[in-house]
Structure 1
Amino acid sequence: MLNRIEAYYDAVPRSSARAESHGPLTLFVQSGDGWPYYARPALGHTGEVPVEAVERVRARQRELGVPEAFEWVAETTPGLRAAVEATGLTVHEHPLMVLEGEGVPVPAPGGFAVRMVEADDPALESAVAAPYAAFGADPGPGTTERIAERLTAGLTRLAAAYDPTGRALAAGQHQPVGAVTEVVGVGTVPEARRRGLGLAVTAALAADARARGTETVFLTATDETVARLYGRLGFRTVATALIAEG
């Protein structure tokens, strides 16, 4: 299972980023506009990672003007954490969860509709904006167009929860690569939280992935409290995702 997820982690950024090899680490560098990527262990590397290798990647990230960020799975590359921490970065732990079975459907709360959103949907812009608003950010120019291109290419699947006026109050994505997909970017605008919209969107994404024949559906929870919510949908913790940023 973890090997399959590692292969996915190595493959999914390559649709919109270039991969730079730095010995035991791979640095993904965003091509054009969009969310900046991070460094990960090189696919297949499971041993120790020298502190010097982490420092070289951090220097390259500073040169590129991108965040000094690393993401990896603790159980797959246990030797990386000490090296990252030795350079002064703080490492955060997050439950890595995999969907068991077909998942549990969650009906939308009364007055709301949860559905998949396609590239030509008139409400696409609202669905793209909702997760950014959830984290107090702005999508930036061109974001809706980039998501539309990814939807058309089959690289991204998008679900959103709409109020009766047609405004998306929560949304999220899954990004299929072969038989594996990750649920990412689920967010609810602040004024609509605690209504179950994010959970309903996550359930819709999981159901869409299964309907498309995806064998492995996984996500990273913020913390154990959020993990318990995802557990109600059939997700189970299988490992620990580690994230470090400068």
Structure 2
Amino acid sequence: MTGPTLRDRIEHYYTHVPLLFAEAEEFGTLRLFVRRAAGAPYYGGPSHAQPAPGDGGRTVKAADLERVRARQRELGVPQAFEWLAEARPGLRATVEGTGVAVEERPLMVLDPARAPAAVPLPAGVTVRAVAADDPALAAVLAVPNLAFGGPASVPAGEIPAVRQTLRDGTKVLVAAFAPDGSPLAAGHYHPCGGATEIGGIGTHPTARRQGLGAAVTTALAAHAADRGVRTVFLAYAQESVARLYARLGFRPAGTTLLIAGQPARGQRPTAG
């Protein structure tokens, strides 16, 4: 008897990990995730939709898509929608048939038979997990913002919420630090059901091209493996990044599709 396939494990993760932070609202063939509290950390964006699970692969209805969009407008959040291409091969045509462009985010999974490759660090730089009571927490959370051209700080209400997820283990945050203790790069993962997606990798603009993003990625993968996570995957948007991940031990593992222009993981969206 065989176990779940890699596709099954990734799809299960996509279906269940948002429920750590959000409530699910059902719209026929679609499910919309609405975070429980403002400022709460969220996987995939403030409110994103995906095909409803356990429906036997029903064709997603355009009418359900419009109902979800109306709810997202009501909530004042981006119209974010994400799904695994291989699990719903006909859904792209449905979405594009409503006049919405779709983008691809290829996935890569860490080879379970290969330990994450070690990444050399610049002199004096250290990489470690960030605890809930770490005095550098606020500065660490701001690094991905800066990496993506955002503000140099995070909303005050977000910090207590992140602290809680770090305490209860639903979020793991890792950062690279300069010798003076200032954070240079950061990333996170949310473990769920023996799987996790590494995301939110960002390097401070002044610290790029030193391998710090790769070092954080490797540290996150090793941390997850030490906690018993057996399926570690990530998404990318550029081939140059894929080549880097391949050197770290990741291999192709399918494709996620999303509505063009929606916020990437780890980025704080603008008001919508």
TM-score, normalised to structure 1, is 0.95
Structure 1 residues 165-184: aligned runs within 5 Å: 165-184=180-199
1:135 aligns with 2:135: no
Structure 1 residues 102-181: aligned runs within 5 Å: 102-138=115-151, 139-181=154-196
8 Å contact 1:47–1:78 — kept in the other structure? no
CA offsets, 1:86-113, max 9 Å, x none? 2222111111111103221213222311
Q: Secondary structure at the match of 1:184?
A: strand
Q: Structure 2: which amino acid aligns with 1:164? A: P
8 Å contact 1:105–1:207 — kept in the other structure? no
Q: Structure 1: which amino acid aligns with 2:160? A: E
8 Å contact 1:159–1:205 — kept in the other structure? yes
8 Å contact 2:129–2:175 — kept in the other structure? yes
Identify the range of structure 1 (155-164 vs 130-139) with the bigger mean alpha-carbon deviation.
130-139
Q: Secondary structure at the match of 1:26?
A: strand
Aligned residue pairs total 246
1:38 aligns with 2:48: yes
CA offsets, 1:161-182, max 9 Å, x none? 1111111011000110131111
CA positional deviation for 1:150: 0.4
Q: Distance in 2 between matches of 1:98 and 1:216?
A: 7
Q: Distance in 2 between matches of 1:37 and 1:235?
A: 29
Identify the residue that residue 11 of structure 2 maps to in structure 1.
6
Which runs of no fewer than 5 residues in structure 2 stay unpaired? 1-5, 40-44, 262-272
Identify the range of structure 1 (199-208 vs 78-87) with the bigger mean alpha-carbon deviation.
78-87
Q: Secondary structure at the match of 1:5?
A: helix
CA offsets, 1:147-172, max 9 Å, x none? 11100000011110111111101100
Q: Structure 2: which amino acid aligns with 1:179? A: G
Q: Secondary structure at the match of 1:111?
A: coil
Identify the residue that residue 270 of structure 2 maps to in structure 1.
none
8 Å contact 2:47–2:72 — kept in the other structure? no
Aligned residues with identical type, % of pairs: 52
Which runs of no fewer than 5 residues in structure 1 stay unpaired? none
CA offsets, 1:182-226, max 9 Å, x none? 111010111211111111000000000111111111111122221
CA positional deviation for 1:3: 1.1
Match of 1:244 among 245, 256, 259: 259
Q: Distance in 2 between matches of 1:37 and 1:108?
A: 37
CA positional deviation for 1:116: 1.1
8 Å contact 1:157–1:174 — kept in the other structure? yes
1:84 aligns with 2:89: no
1:220 aligns with 2:235: yes
Structure 1 residues 199-214: aligned runs within 5 Å: 199-214=214-229
Q: Distance in 2 between matches of 1:143 and 1:124?
A: 11
Identify the residue that residue 83 of structure 2 maps to in structure 1.
72
Q: Structure 2: which amino acid aligns with 1:13? A: P
Q: Distance in 2 between matches of 1:67 and 1:192?
A: 30
